A and B are shown apart, each in its own frame.
Chain A
């Protein structure tokens, strides 16, 4: 089973700052990687699919990059609404495992 490792576990930043979140896979997932945002009590919201494609309605400040085993989610300038937990998910080989999450909190 493919394991996804996200880092850091927590990111303490101020509004307007840049956030860089990492997701590493234990083996290649090609570009079959998605990023989600989740707030308490809500279902996850898709931000990025296929490693770098923004989902419908997602602001341009969110971008994804990477392939194979190393991926990055970047939020160029944090808005107050962006403070949440972010998960990566791989969807290859009949699997859909999630990373452990990165919590982006207000500094």
Chain B
């Protein structure tokens, strides 16, 4: 059974950085790209970036260029999303998700980030 398990909720101050982990199980971690998606309160889904666990290539959305760092630890099948220079606009639920062919589609449980002074 495929599972993506994310780290817990965080509270950060403006200007700080946050790092969310996403541990994958039940499938070959290297096989499918991993996406990061967020949703601010009352807003729509926002795609943040894509990560290839096999090789480590990343492609952030233009909005997050220079502020989004995507990495992985292949020994534990864990992906990491780090977002720097936080502002209150970054308050949101953050998800990792993996998509593959024939409807292969799994999401983590979500991580709430609150940015507040």
A interface residues, Cβ below 8 angstroms from B: 1, 34, 36, 38, 43-44, 46, 49, 53, 55-56, 85, 87, 89, 91, 94-101
Residue contact B103 to A53, C-beta cutoff 8 Å: yes
Among B37, B44, B61, B103, the most chain A Cβ lie within 10 Å of the Cβ of B103
What is the total of A-B residue contacts with beta carbons within 8 Å? 51
Residue contact B44 to A98, C-beta cutoff 8 Å: yes
Least Cβ distance of B65 to chain A in Å? 11
Question: Which chain B residues border A91 with CB–CB below 8 Å?
Answer: 99
Least Cβ distance of A52 to chain B in Å? 12
Residue contact B62 to A1, C-beta cutoff 8 Å: yes
Q: Which residue of B lies closest to A1 (CB)?
A: B62
Residue contact A44 to B50, C-beta cutoff 8 Å: no
